Structure 1
Amino acid sequence: MDLHGAPYFFGYGSLVNRATHDYPRASRARVRGWARVWRGTSLRQVAYLSATEAPGVEIEGLIAAVPGGDWAALDARERAYARHPLAMVTHDHPEALSIMIYKVEPHHISTSAAHPILLSYLDTVVQGYLREFGEAGVARFFETTRGWDAGILNDRAAPRYPRAQVTTDRERAMVDAALRDLGL
């Protein structure tokens, strides 16, 4: 598959966990001017992890080529989100890339009801950050993510997150410790 000139996307949540996808040419990257935020929406009763503009903040994630340059499948996976072009991305690819980031569309955002964070979703995201960026990367994930006041829904025994991964005792303990540090 020729990916020269293909569009790319920046994943900052479950897409950092390579076990949740098989997107080509995935590699580590950093984006300046954005943070992550847990968002309640009118689309479901649990929180989505979204991106939000945040001057002075830098987040880590993965960039990957959009298969065939066709956004349709990725847009379907990210149906609550809209794509936005990124300008300040640091990556190791030798060529200049056109990179997009997904964020929840404003008309979907809801603050009218509780939208807790699925623990199976958070575990999957943190597992990806641990594998890609180590323990320091996990700490940076929690530091640069907002919206923790959404609360946590412990669904580990019966994961509701569709791309939930099997996590180790160490990975779960790391998540639990970080949540305790946040007062959750």
Structure 2
Amino acid sequence: MNGSGNRLVGYFGYGSLVNRATLRPGIVGAHRARLKGWRRTWRPRPDMGPTPGVNLPDGLMPALLTAERAADQAIDGLLVIDLADNLGHVDEREFRYHRRDLTLDDLEVSDLSLSELSGGGIALHVYEARSEPLPVSGPSHILCSYLDAVMQGFLNEFGTAGLHRFVAETDAFHTPIFEDRHAPVYPRAVSLSREEIEVFDAALTSRDSF
């Protein structure tokens, strides 16, 4: 995999990074995967404040996805293979997250032999939300434009069953959704078909049972 002589890295996406349309151009590859020993959850982000490319309505505190260590749990996602020289750009995108190291034992990759990863000596990572934000002082909301991008990624990669699994395997999905689909706040907003919207709405009807 590393014939060019450029060192490669892999990072596991479990939210918007699952949607290939949001990935930085020029990645080496992306592979459906499952991360063991972690659980996905929505976390309020009171530290958002003014952010380039993000214009939050006054008083809106968004909730973003993060992954947390959880024994005997696992989550679906996308293992992105990229040049190590580009990892700094990913860090900039995920600047509210810590980059954590993973091992081959943490992953199940559907269409990539783990020997290909180990043979190339690829460093593996996942991004975990920083725990330093100030205490939450009010309600938070999931941005619909962000959720749309995430759910489109899971639908494309894992089908309808995988989309429902995403909802079931994500904690704090009782968090209310801020409707900004027609005026997106999320800077990597995606376009949806009528069929996608219907599938997303059907998947979200099950969230109150978790």
TM-score, normalised to structure 1, is: 0.91
Number of the residue aligned with 1:54: 70
CA 4–59 in structure 1, closer or farther in 2 if over 3 Å, else same:
farther
State the distance in 1 between where 2:148 and 2:92 align.
23
Runs of 5+ unmatched residues, structure 2? 49-60
State the distance in 1 between where 2:5 and 2:167 align.
33
Shift of 1:165: 0.4
CA 95–71 in structure 1, closer or farther in 2 if over 3 Å, else same:
closer
Corresponding residue to 1:85 among 77, 93, 101: 101
State the distance in 2 between where 1:175 and 1:120 align.
12
Shift of 1:179: 2.0
8 A contact 1:33–1:56 mirrored in 2: yes
Is 1:12 matched with 2:26? no
8 A contact 1:39–1:109 mirrored in 2: no
State the distance in 1 between where 2:20 and 2:102 align.
22
84-93 or 72-81: bigger deviation: 84-93
State the distance in 1 between where 2:135 and 2:187 align.
22
Match of 1:148, SS state, is coil
Q: Percent identity?
A: 36
State the distance in 2 between where 1:31 and 1:84 align.
13
63-72 or 172-181: bigger deviation: 63-72
What's the CA shift string for 1:48-104, capped at 9, x where partnerless?
111111211111111112334342111110011001112311121423242110011
Match of 1:183, SS state, is helix
170-179 or 160-169: bigger deviation: 170-179
Shift of 1:43: 2.0
Number of the residue aligned with 1:121: 146
State the distance in 1 between where 2:149 and 2:5 align.
28
Match of 2:42, SS state, is strand
Match of 1:54, SS state, is strand
Please identify the structure whose Cα radius of gyration is greater. 2
Corresponding residue to 1:98 among 85, 106, 123: 123
Count residues with an aligned counterpart: 184
RMSD, matched Cα: 1.9
Number of the residue aligned with 2:85: 69
CA 140–4 in structure 1, closer or farther in 2 if over 3 Å, else same:
farther
State the distance in 1 between where 2:12 and 2:158 align.
15
Corresponding residue to 1:155 among 170, 174, 180: 180
